[in-house]
Structure 1
Amino acid sequence: MLYTNQQRHLLNLHYIHPVPINRFTKLLQENPSLENLHSYSALHWSYIFNLPVAKTKEFPMKFKEISELPIVELLRGIGCFPIPYCHSNYPEELKQLCDSPAVLYGKGNIDLLKMHPRVGIIGSRKATDYSRKALAFIVPPLVDHHIPIVSGLADGADTMAHQAAIEYGGDTIGVLGHGFSHMYPKKNQQIAEEMARNHLLVTEYPPYFPPAKWTFPMRNRIISALSSALVITESVERSGTMSTVEHALDHGKEIFAVPGAIDSPLSAGPNRLLDEGAKPLWSGYQIIDSLQ
């Protein structure tokens, strides 16, 4: 993957200040080529990012240090390929977001970002065996039609979705809420390594960036954007799963929900979505018919 000087400058800056592209608007309007950023003072960075000078006082030194390193080559050394917003390989779907990732970091098969359609499958971290049984009816038809499965590699339903895609011989994309030097939850280390080899992991955070409470809700908008349709297996009414649904609805995505028992708290979310107009789902062929 080749990079222009502008893309390398954006990557260097994002490495020390990993924020969405809308936070770079003022800078790109002032300096579209991103040249001579080494000359910017802490006061200027304060103006660019609308931050107190106390928070930008180390920016000049950090940018100088990062610019002297072969960041692209170092990332390649750990199997990571960065895709800046202005790069031709950057997914067009992510550009529909008001706060698109300024850089998307990937590990694995980048060609999965060019495959369409893709289907997101999400649900509760406490998902039961009911989700696994439902995926046995949903995932195989998608795999047969070469449709990658997108999810967040969280515990529960997300992990089940990735596992089902792999077990049935399909492709899957995991969207992380942290950099590649971390793994959350820890017990997903093995499947994450397999996906990094044979499937795809993506994140908007540089490798050093740790997981935090706010990074996972941010991650949800990427799951939604990369998915042509979204499936919810099990979820309580108020959860991160529902925030992903809201992102999908904002962008006109088809929502499918697996109906559940009325006495199950984890079916409250999908059943509520069905009442609000989501499509009931019991077979992956329903998704295929809808997408076609």
Structure 2
Amino acid sequence: MEREFFLLKLALIKGAGIITKWRIFEYAQTHQCFNFTASELRPLLSKRCDPFVFCNDWNFLTKEVLQQKLDGQKYITLDSPLYPKRLKEIPQPPFVLFYEGNIRLLQEEKIIAFVGSRNVSSYGREVVKKFVPPLAARGFTIVSGLAKGVDSCSHLTAMQAFGQTIGVVGCGLDICYPKEVFTIYWEMLKKQLVISEYPYGTPVRKYHFPMRNRIIAGLSQAVCVVEARARSGSLTTAQLTLDSGKEVFAFPGDILNGRSTGCLQLIQDGAKCVISIKDILEELPNFE
């Protein structure tokens, strides 16, 4: 119980980023002790941390306060048997995953991500509608970030094809962002799965999106990129996927309108250019 309390406390603590939090956790594991004071942990904080906020929050987050804050929330910790093995393999995985829906979807082996532009064109939507259903029919669970555009289109298409889908968000699960995806979000809370590393009440922050993207990449066997512009968040997800030795698939697009510049760059850098479902399946022979 001490270790679980420690994991929950690290997940909720303010004043330190994920790298510092993992430094603290590894220090605790090395010493096989999970009951440190704020003063004992302060030397482990990086220069970017706010020691006053961290120490104040560490002292404030007693077991009673944590229990109160987590009341009504569903979650699994890093030590849970339901925590996905694939996600544990990424650098600094989340200590806690908060969820609504069918947590068993995290145990699926055949998980593939679809990511891309928030301002998706009719072409991008048609690509999603052409490729997601046959993958869903073959038992692939579709994971994405529940944003506008490619993300929400991928989730919706998977559900319409009677498939499974996982949404990863960058805020508390009591907040739907953006509001335009509320209908899809609500449906997924009931019948699919939505996860976050942030507890209730956590607002959207710009830096939450790359953190969310690392979870999408970590959960997935492969990532498909649809209509990504240069320097888009989708390219971050793709790069994280490549760094972990997994497959990245990119759909070619118009070279003139700029909507697919990121996809075309990925193809130049070695991502597989997809023009048929076979192009994806032949790279994942164990998942037919």
TM exceeding 0.5? yes
Q: 1:232 aligns with which of 225, 232, 238?
A: 225
CA positional deviation for 1:101: 0.8
Which structure 2 segments of 5+ residues have no match? Answer: none
Work out whether residues 234 and 266 of structure 1, in 8 Å CA contact, stay in contact via their aligned partners in 2. Answer: yes
Match of 1:249 in 2: 242
SS in 2 for 1:153: coil
1:127-179 residue CA offsets vs partner (Å, 9 max, x unmatched):
11111111122111111111100101111111111111111111111110111
> For residues 275 and 26 of structure 1, do their structure 2 counterparts lie closer, same or farther at Cα, with a shift above 3 Å needed?
closer
> For residues 133 and 7 of structure 1, do their structure 2 counterparts lie closer, same or farther at Cα, with a shift above 3 Å needed?
same
Q: 1:16 aligns with which of 13, 17, 22?
A: 13
Match of 1:54 in 2: 52
SS in 1 for 2:61: helix
Matches within 5 A, 1:1-292: 4-17=1-14, 19-20=17-18, 22-29=22-29, 32-35=32-35, 37=36, 40=37, 42-50=38-46, 51-64=49-62, 66-67=64-65, 69=67, 74=71, 77=72, 80-292=73-285
SS in 1 for 2:283: helix
> For residues 192 and 23 of structure 1, do their structure 2 counterparts lie closer, same or farther at Cα, with a shift above 3 Å needed?
farther
**Whole-Å Cα distance in 1 between the matches of residues 194 and 165 of structure 2?**
9
SS in 2 for 1:219: helix
Superposition TM-score, scaled by structure 2 size: 0.89
**Whole-Å Cα distance in 2 between the matches of residues 26 and 139 of structure 1?**
40
> For residues 166 and 60 of structure 1, do their structure 2 counterparts lie closer, same or farther at Cα, with a shift above 3 Å needed?
closer
Work out whether residues 146 and 181 of structure 2, in 8 Å CA contact, stay in contact via their aligned partners in 1. Answer: yes
> For residues 231 and 52 of structure 1, do their structure 2 counterparts lie closer, same or farther at Cα, with a shift above 3 Å needed?
closer
CA positional deviation for 1:206: 1.3
Work out whether residues 10 and 95 of structure 2, in 8 Å CA contact, stay in contact via their aligned partners in 1. Answer: no
Report the more deviating stretch, 184-193 or 224-233: 184-193
1:55-92 residue CA offsets vs partner (Å, 9 max, x unmatched):
234235412264573565x1xx3xx4211112222111
> For residues 32 and 268 of structure 1, do their structure 2 counterparts lie closer, same or farther at Cα, with a shift above 3 Å needed?
same
**Whole-Å Cα distance in 1 between the matches of residues 145 and 135 of structure 2?**
18
Give the counterpart letter for 2:67 in structure 1: L
CA positional deviation for 1:33: 4.9
**Whole-Å Cα distance in 1 between the matches of residues 251 and 226 of structure 2?**
5
**Whole-Å Cα distance in 2 between the matches of residues 231 and 152 of structure 1?**
13
Work out whether residues 138 and 282 of structure 1, in 8 Å CA contact, stay in contact via their aligned partners in 2. Answer: no
CA positional deviation for 1:13: 4.2
**Whole-Å Cα distance in 1 between the matches of residues 223 and 260 of structure 2?**
16
